[in-house]
Amino acid sequence: MSFSDHLAQTSPYPFGIEVKRAQGCYIEDTSGKKYLDMISGISVANVGHCHPHIVKAVQEQSRNYMHVIPYGEFSQAPQNKLADKLASLLPDALNCSYFVNSGTEANEAALKLAKRITERHEVVAMKRSYHGATHGSLSVSGNEVKKQRFRPFVPGTTFIEFNNPLELDKITSSTAAVIVEPIMGDAGVRIPTNDYLKKLRTRCTEVGAQLIFDEIQTGMGRTGSLFALEQFDVVPDILTLAKAFGGGMPIGAFISSRENMKLLTHDPVLGHITTFGGHPVCCAAALANLEVLTDQESWIKEASVKGSALKNMLVHPAIVEVRQIGLMLAVELDSAERVDAVIHQLKDAGIIAFYFLSTRHAFRLAPPLCISEEELQRAAKAILGALSEKNEALG
């Protein structure tokens, strides 16, 4: 397998599977080898790869029309239907969606909206967080390794410790927004205590700051509810979605109240614009994805049971901790070296696990929600086998 000399790469050591097709929980390479995808393309293929309902929606919409004009100028049925569906599934305060191209753009736009609402410019974010790779999103991400060669960033960001209520006083009347992942994904599945997010919500309300929930990794049933916010009984002012939102197609969204969103229409007009955001084919895919999750399947309800079962299978002396909510897991080991070895041994065994951006001592597991008990058992057996092989090698 090789990449084109004309194709830019993200690292000197790509994972290197040459893909022929992907279906359900499996990716097949050009040699015919099948891999059980235990990461869903990094929390994207929540309903599995190439779900037939989504494929049909993409085919039908692409026959009608694709891009016709930049977002917001023409009324397009896929956008309208998707916005209506989201409004029916979210709390009343989150009733107006703006569709963009990706998660990082959704977060960039959410920060702009918060500044427009509050007429403030300071932002509070979490240490070890990750919100995207563009300058604004990276400015509020807590991964210093990823940031160090790209400074300066957008000024005015303060970082606090996630899950530490003693630091909430750093959110002040000068704060425009607090941006937080309700479960920190790339920090290694860091789950808040039961009342932390409620205290965060209270503090934001007290000082008039907008609370932004980044549910780019946690949305679309990954944590055992359609949105993670449902599990904590907290409603943010702004919600961002992407990754699994499109069922395999590229789309993001930032969502707030209609009153807030109207502020982007004046002073200045076109307060946020995008050429391809709300692409009709991607909106059709996202709507079909929501239909699968809410109307046709019981996978969301089963995610917590399946995730707990997988966690209970992963018992080994080399495992320091397994952090799990729904089908979102971090398997903590004692070294980065062991993580590397296990991931590569799993690849050889036909199992795809992967790294986190902000914790090198753990690897991620986030399989499609449609995964079966037998497939979970196969993956767990392979993981335990890889850990035992590594123990022997170290011995």
What are the φ and ψ backbone dihedral angles of 147, each rounded to 5 degrees? -95, -20
pLDDT value at position 391? 57
238-241 vs 210-214, strand pairing mode: parallel
Question: Per residue in 331-390, pLDDT tens?
Answer: 999 999 999 999 999 999 999 999 998 899 999 999 999 999 999 999 999 999 999 975
- End-to-end CA distance of the chain, in Å? 33
Residue ranges, the chain, pLDDT below 70: 1, 390-395
* Residues 11, 377: Cα–Cα separation, whole Å: 32
pLDDT reported for residue 1: 55
pLDDT at 395: 45
The model's pTM: 0.95
**Residue 16 pLDDT:** 87
Q: What is the pLDDT of residue 14?
A: 87
Q: Alpha helix (H) ranges present in the chain?
A: 40-43, 52-64, 77-89, 103-118, 135-139, 144-147, 196-207, 229-232, 258-261, 280-291, 299-313, 336-348, 373-394
Q: Which residues contact 136 (CB under 8 A, 6 or more apart)?
A: 107, 108, 111, 154
Asked whether 27 and 50 are in contact (CB, 8 A), the reply is: no
Dist CA 156 CA 113 (whole Å): 16
Give the integer Cα–Cα distance in Å for 177 and 111.
7
- Beta strands 252-256 and 34-37: pairing type? unpaired
Closest Cα to residue 221, out of 103, 110, 89, 310?
A: 89
Domains, the chain, with CATH or none: 19-50+298-394 (3.90.1150.10), 52-296 (3.40.640.10)
